[in-house]
C-alpha cells in the first residue's frame, strides 16, 4: 500500500539525530514489547509479513508520532485481536485495570530457570527462520539482464517501494525463491518466487541531481519485474 511507512525519497524529515552511546533499549516497556514480539512470532501466531503489514496499517499520524517499539506494540495488539487470540474488550479492560491500580506486570509465578518456551525461543533466535522455499522453477532473469520495475500500486502489503516503480535497472544477483509477502501477509498463500538484487543508477531514479556514479540496490520479487525492451 502507498502508506506512510514507504518513505524512501521523501524530503523534509529533518536532520539525522544519532545518539552517543545509545543503549539497546531506552525504556523497560520497550524490552517487554520486544520479548512479546519474539514470543508471538516465534510461536507462529502470525508471520513476519503480517506483522509488517499491521504496522503499515497504522493511522498515519499515530505512525509518525510513535516510536519503533510502539509500532510493534500496536501491530501485536492488532494481529492478536484480529486472530481472536485476545479480544479488544479484555485488552481494554486490562489496560484500565493496570492504569487504575498501577498494577505490576502480572502476578506470575516465579521463574524456575528452565521453562520450555524460553529454551524454544532461544533456539529460534539462534537458528533463525528463513522464508526461502525452493520451487523447482527456473528464475526468469539472470545477472546482467535489463529489467523495468512494474508500475503497480497494490492496496495491501508489498515490499516494492514507490520510489523504484517504473524504473529501469539490471539484475545483479539471483537469491533463490522466497515466500511472496504480497500474498503471504493476507493469508493468500506463500507463492514463493525468485528474489533478485537489482541495481539502479541513482540518476535513473532521481534525475540529474544524483551523482553520476552512484547507484541504489534493491531486493525485488520476480513479479515486481518485467524484461526491459
Partner 1 sequence: MSTEHGHHPAPLSDVEARTRALESILLEKGLLTPDAVDKVIATYERDIGPLNGARVVARAWVDAAYKKRLLTDATPAIAELGFGGRQGEHMVVVENTPTIHNVIVCTLCSCYPWPVLGLPPVWYKSPPYRSRVVIEPRKVLQEFSLELDEAIEIRVWDSSAEIRYMVLPERPAGTEGMTEEELVTLVTRDSMIGVAQAKAPAARV
Q: Which of 105, 138, 144, 187 binds partner 1 (CB under 8 A)?
A: 105
Q: Counting every residue, how long is the chain?
A: 229
Supply the minimum distance, in Å, between the C-beta of residue 170 and partner 1.
Answer: 13
Rule CB under 8 A: say whether 106 interacts with partner 1.
yes
Nearest one of 60, 41, 61, 59 to 51, comparing CA atoms: 41
Closest CB to partner 1 among 213 and 229? 213
**Exposure string over 58-92, b if 16+ CB within 10 A, otherwise e:** beeeebeeeeebbbbbbbbbbbbeeeeeeeeeeee
Determine if 99 is a binding residue for partner 1 (CB under 8 A).
Answer: yes
Q: Give strand ranges (E) for the chain.
A: 146-149, 168-178, 193-201, 215-221, 225-227
Residues 31-90 that bind partner 1 (CB under 8 A): 31-36, 38-40, 43, 45, 52, 55, 64, 66-68, 70, 73, 76-77, 80, 85-86, 90
* Contact indicator for 177, 135 with CB cutoff of 8 Å: yes
Which residue's CB is nearer to partner 1, number 100 or number 138? 100
Closest to partner 1 by CB, 109 vs 138, is 109
H and E: helices and strands count for the chain: 8, 5
Binding residues among 160-179 for partner 1 as defined by CB under 8 A = 160-161, 163, 173, 175, 178
Binding mask of the shown chain, residues 122 to 141, with x at each position contacting partner 1 by CB under 8 A: x-xxxxxxxxx---------
d(CA 179, CA 200): 24
Name the 3-class secondary structure at 99. helix
Q: Which is nearer to partner 1, 24 or 229 (CB)?
A: 24
Q: Which of 2, 103, 135, 152 binds partner 1 (CB under 8 A)?
A: 103
Q: How many residues bind partner 1 (CB under 8 A)?
A: 101
Integer Cα distance of 73 and 90 in angstroms: 16
Residues 204-223 that bind partner 1 (CB under 8 A): 205-206, 210-211, 213-221
Amino acid at each position: 500500500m502507498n502508506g506512510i511507512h514507504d518513505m524512501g525519497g521523501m524530503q523534509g524529515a529533518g536532520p539525522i539525530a544519532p545518539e552517543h552511546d545509545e543503549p539497546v533499549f531506552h525504556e523497560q516497556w520497550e524490552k517487554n514489547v520486544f520479548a512479546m514480539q519474539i514470543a508471538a512470532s516465534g510461536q507462529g501466531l502470525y508471520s513476519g509479513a503480517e506483522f509488517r503489514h499491521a504496522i503499515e496499517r497504522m493511522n498515519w499520524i499515530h505512525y509518525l508520532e510513535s516510536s519503533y517499539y510502539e509500532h510493534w506494540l500496536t501491530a501485536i495488539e492488532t494481529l492478536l485481536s484480529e486472530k481472536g487470540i485476545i479480544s479488544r474488550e479484555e485488552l481494554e479492560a486490562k489496560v484500565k485495570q493496570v492504569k487504575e491500580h498501577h498494577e505490576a506486570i502480572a502476578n506470575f509465578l516465579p521463574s524456575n530457570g528452565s521453562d520450555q518456551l524460553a529454551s524454544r525461543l532461544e533456539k529460534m533466535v539462534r537458528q533463525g527462520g528463513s522464508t526461502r522455499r525452493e520451487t523447482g522453477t527456473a528464475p526468469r532473469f539472470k545477472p546482467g539482464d535489463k529489467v523495468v520495475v512494474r508500475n503497480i500500486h497494490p492496496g495491501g502489503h508489498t515490499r516494492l517501494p514507490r520510489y523504484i516503480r517504473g524504473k529501469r535497472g539490471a539484475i545483479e544477483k539471483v537469491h533463490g525463491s522466497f515466500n511472496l509477502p504480497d500474498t503471504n501477509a493476507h493469508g493468500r498463500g506463500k507463492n514463493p518466487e525468485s528474489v533478485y538484487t537489482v541495481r539502479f543508477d541513482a540518476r535513473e531514479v532521481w534525475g540529474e541531481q544524483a551523482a553520476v556514479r552512484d547507484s541504489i540496490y534493491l531486493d525485488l520479487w520476480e513479479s515486481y519485474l518485467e524484461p526491459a525492451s
